[in-house]
Amino acid sequence: MKQALILALIVSVIMLSMTDVVNGEPQTTEKAIFAGGCFWCMEPPYDKLDGVISTTSGYTGGHKKNPTYREVSSGTTGHTEAIEVVYDPQKVSYTKLLEVFWRNIDPTTKNRQFCDHGSQYRSGIFYLNEEQKRLAEESEATINRTKPFKEPVVTEITAARTFYPAEDYHQDYYRKNPIRYKYYRYNCGRDQRLKELWGDNLHE
């Protein structure tokens, strides 16, 4: 009986020590969904943030279930290229994620980001709860007060719909194909336009 009690106590201690981590990830993770044009280009700034656990390229905001890249690229599904960010709120706040978002997009263009045109490249914040909605709207108001450019902000803030992960070859594209990624990014004029909009106040 005494041995059983000791064993039960040991098991309890082990279980308590595991409450903060499940499968190698913090138990209290949260998600955020952002669209900023080409999803390849939206992963790097978040992957560099302490507290971000993963980024996944995908599609959201449309009406077709399980869309393919070809379908989304045609502009007929209503989806936009987006990323889903899984993060530890104890290490990085949603407000910080919003700051990074704004400074990695062109919020002045509708249905377009840099060289990519069409509703499938529209920018957006897709909130998952009322707190994210509130913070997103506050961040937009702050941008409107402090923006160093004259054009109005047209980025959408809307309730999240289903997020569909993109095909495997799109995930971590900038790591798998660094030369092609850099060539695309440069020729798309992304960094040039970001600097024009935000100056050196970027999050890359």
147-195 pLDDT, tens digit each: 999 999 999 999 999 999 999 999 999 999 999 999 999 999 999 999 9
- The catalytically annotated residue of 38, 41, 115, 188 is 38
What percentage of the chain reaches a pLDDT higher than 70?
85
User: Between these two residues, 16 and 29, which has the higher pLDDT value?
Assistant: 29
- Is the predicted pLDDT of residue 139 greater than 90, yes or no? yes
Is 41 among the residues known to form the active site? no
Sorting pLDDT into bands at 50, 70 and 90, what band is 14?
Answer: very low
Q: How many CA atoms lie within 13 A of 35 on its CB side?
A: 34
Task: Spell out the domains of the chain, with CATH numbers in brackets.
Answer: 25-198 (3.30.1060.10)
The overall average pLDDT reported for the chain is: 90
Question: Cα(37)–Cα(107) distance, rounded to whole angstroms?
Answer: 11
Residue at 175: amino acid letter: R
Most distant CA pair in the chain, distance:
76
Question: Cα(85)–Cα(30) distance, rounded to whole angstroms?
Answer: 8
Q: How far is CA 32 from CA 3, 173, 195, in A?
A: 47, 20, 25
Question: Cα(42)–Cα(8) distance, rounded to whole angstroms?
Answer: 47
pLDDT per position as a tens digit, 51-82: 999 999 999 999 999 999 999 999 999 999 99
